Amino acid sequence: MPPDSPRAVFLSYASQDAGAVLCIADALRAAGVEVWLDQSELTGGDAWDRKIRGQIGTCALFAPVISAATQARREGYFRIEWKLAAQRTHAMADGTPFLLPIVIDDTKDSEALVPEEFRAVQWTRLPGGEKAEAFGARVRRLLGGSDVARAFQPVSSSTADTGSKAPVSLRRWAGASRRRHGSLQVPSWPSRSPSADIFYGSLRRNRRRARRRMRAQGRALPPPIPRP
């Protein structure tokens, strides 16, 4: 996406879901996110079609709203929007944030009638479009370029506002390294650890015993193990 592209989220949905989508749009706007959504599906026309295609081609994030209504409608303009967004991902590097599928009812992911590209990312469930405040804050962080990895974790009551931490041992090692060197020092690769020395020492001793037995029996000896 070019750096001067609008930092907007495009909401794509079936007209039957307009009420829930407006709730999601309000939550996004309350979080300071610009929202694009088509509220004139019945208008049609070339100018309207060009506008929608242009917005899908320049939006920062595309959020298809999936529901029983979209399942029931096997034909509709929103399906053109979904396919246009899916095609745009083909020009993006793997892992580039763009698709944010939202499910507003109990539609199952495995049964959803969506482009395959949608299945490659995690989905967010917002029943009825309610309690979307955490989702709005998450999208705001994503558009700001921070916390990208956490922003793509699915929203749930238990994980909406929590983040994972590194293991205690790793945090202690990092803290000790910073105190000792003034910065985090990562050892060069390959590195040898005491456990590796013990392992290779034991392996070499066992091989030496085996070679002595084979020599006593007059058998051919295997090549020695190179020292790592």
- 65 and 11 Cβ atoms separated by less than 8 Å: yes
The pLDDT assigned to 2 comes to 42
35-44, 64-73, 203-212: range with highest mean pLDDT: 64-73
The pLDDT assigned to 175 comes to 59
- 201 and 228 Cβ atoms separated by less than 8 Å: no
The pLDDT assigned to 161 comes to 39
Q: Bigger pLDDT: 9 or 214?
A: 9
37: β partners:
11
pLDDT at 198 over 90: no
Choose among 58, 53, 159, 142: nearest CA to 96. Answer: 142
What are the extents of the domains in the chain?
Answer: 8-151
Residues listed for the chain? 228
Q: What is the pTM of this model?
A: 0.62
Give the angle 12-77-25 at the CA atoms, nearest 5°.
20
The pLDDT assigned to 67 comes to 97
Lowest mean pLDDT among 29-33, 60-64, 142-146, 176-180: 176-180
The pLDDT assigned to 166 comes to 46
Q: Bigger pLDDT: 116 or 156?
A: 116
What are the tokens at 219? 């058998």
The pLDDT assigned to 226 comes to 55
CATH code at 8-151: 3.40.50.10140
- What is the average per-residue pLDDT within 25-36? 94
Q: At what angle are helices 18-30 and 133-143 packed, to 10 degrees?
A: 60
- What is the average per-residue pLDDT within 19-33? 95
pLDDT at 63 over 60: yes
What are the tokens at 92? 């993006």
pLDDT at 73 over 90: yes
How much of the chain, in percent, has pLDDT values that exceed 90? 50
221 band by pLDDT with thresholds 50, 70 and 90: low
